[in-house]
Amino acid sequence: MATLGQNLSSITSNGAAANDAVARTGAVAAIVRDAVLTQPVWDMHTHLYPPTFGTPSQSAGQPSDPNGLLLWGVDELLTYHYLVAETFRVVPNAELSYATFWSMSKQDQADHIWRQLFLERSPVSEACRGVLTTLAALGLDPGERDLGRYRRWFAEQEPSKHIDRVMELSGVSRITMTNAVFDDNERLRWLENPQVAADSRFAGVLRFDPLVRDWPAAAAMLSRWGYPATESLDEPSVQNARRFLNDWIDRVSAIYCAVSLPPTFRYESPEDGTYSSRVLSEVVLPVLAERGLPFAMMIGSQLQVNPSLRDAGDMVGMSDVNSVTRLANDFPDNRFFCTMLARENQHALAVAARKFGNLMVFGCWWFLNNPSLVDEITRMRVELLGLSFIPQHSDARVLEQLVYKWSHSRQIIADVLIDKYADIERTGWRVSEKEIRRDVRLLFEGNFSRFVEAPAP
């Protein structure tokens, strides 16, 4: 049987007859779909951890840790904050109070969400569909609608082996963690066990939001941790904050550093006097330039507009792309990853990336991770940036979300690439299978590994 590439070559040699053109279009599409489906991806941003960080889920061969950071299993999938918010859309606070919901056990919360979103109405939202895609990929029939059976199956899994299976199903070759140094639950695990993340499947990223978002509070914590700092951000504070970053970059073996920023974030210049600008210009960016590490900015999360929803209570807001361009311009020795949460920011951000080689646009984050928006944003980025961006990351907080987020995204990315190859083929340009697979490798792995200056897994 001829390979896809052999079929493409033979069609190319047959001339320009209409039936050959149609056949070639089909062959190109088949190659693209195969390349996108089989290409391993380095997931550049998740909130996932190795089993050594503990897991609250019942499992085989792993003691339960109520505060464990590795979330997995059907109850975690169902109680993810996307579905919590959706549930309170259909069961208002007047019928089931927020306080009552949060007092329920995880299993009872999952039962409630399953009943409301999957049984009493069709699970057509992207978050609900994601649960179904995941169950099906794991060999659990969603059509059975048997939550008890799903729970029993997950309880039989050993976490480390389950991670391997999920990575295989999702085509993820390496998982990039988010290591939040200002979260005591995580910070103390690193201090108690320096080898806690000694797992080659996972890469570390140092996350330090309070340092940039709330310097006075961060300074107080640094002082308690042995890095004396004052609210005035005097020179000793700057030096101690730099020492803190260097120590934790080493401890985490960070491949980049990251912060999530509000829509109100502004950077004018190092002299604008705001804490965030001063911390960036005097502490963060000098350290990262010296260490050769990129800085990731995830901008646009408006936290706790409804505090009663907890993690589900955050919202999106318009952000300032000009602040990103000023940073890229003022700090040419630094490399910046950037993603923004508002749909309305996407075009300006892509245009900004055309102007600065040290700015890498990535992913369709959070509220943008819906098929219609992923399609729109990916097409726009290809048209403006060619292949020089990172189309997606999972942002997974529950292990099995890797399965559906990458399955759904791969389908859309393939559709976009098929259309774009068809566009250039109509000019007379012919793409080969080798070129298509090279391009897909850049999007899924190569662009990221080059930008962090680390070899792909």
DSSP string of 153-217? HHHT--HHHHHHHHHHHHTEEEEE--EETT-HHHHHHHHH-TTTT--TTEEEEEE-HHHHH-HHH
- Amino acid symbol at 269: S
Angle at 397 between CA 392 and CA 399, to 5 degrees: 90
Contacts of 92 (CB under 8 A, 6+ apart): none
Spell out the residues 6+ positions from residue 161 whose beta carbon is closer than 8 angstroms to its own. Answer: none
Phi, psi (degrees; rounded to nearest 5) at 434 = -60, -40
Instruction: Report pLDDT for 94.
Output: 77
What is the average pLDDT across 404-410? 98
Q: Is the pLDDT of residue 280 over 80?
A: yes
Please say if the pLDDT value at position 323 is more than 90. yes
> What is the dihedral sign for C-alpha 372, 376, 379, 381?
negative
Per-residue pLDDT tens digits for 183-206: 999 999 999 999 999 999 999 999
Q: Which token pair is 329?
A: 């311009």
Rounded to an integer, the average pLDDT of 373-390 is: 98
Q: Tell me the backbone φ, ψ of residue 41, rounded to 5 degrees.
A: -120, 140
Q: How far apart are CA 181 and CA 210, in angstroms?
A: 10
Distance CA 83, CA 265 (A): 28
The answer to whether 228 touches 222, Cβ cutoff 8 Å, is yes
- The torsion angles phi and psi of 326, rounded to 5 degrees, stand at -65, -40
Lowest-confidence segment of 56-65, 227-236, 312-321 by average pLDDT: 56-65
Q: Are 268 and 326 in contact (CB under 8 A)?
A: yes
Q: Tell me the per-residue pLDDT of 247-264, one tens digit each, with 9 for 90 and over.
A: 999 999 999 999 999 999
* Mean pLDDT calculated for residue range 50-67: 90
**Structure token pair of residue 158:** 């050993």
Rounded-to-10 torsion of CA 234, 237, 243, 244: -140
Phi, psi of 118 (to 5 degrees): -115, -30
pLDDT of residue 273: 77
pLDDT exceeds 50 at position 1: no
State both tokens at 57.
């889920």
Looking at domain 51-156, which CATH architecture does it have?
Orthogonal Bundle (1.10)
Residue 230 has pLDDT above 80, yes or no: yes
pLDDT of 111-125, one tens digit each? Answer: 999 999 999 999 999
Give the rounded percent of residues in the chain with a pLDDT score beyond 90.
89
Q: Provide the CATH number for the domain formed by 37-49+158-453 in this structure.
A: 3.20.20.140
**Domain map of the chain by residue range?**
37-49+158-453, 51-156
Q: Name the amino acid, one letter, at 170.
A: S
Task: Please determine, for residue 74, whether its predicted confidence score (pLDDT) is greater than 90.
Answer: yes
* Res 33 pLDDT > 70: yes
**pLDDT at 13 exceeding the cut of 80:** no
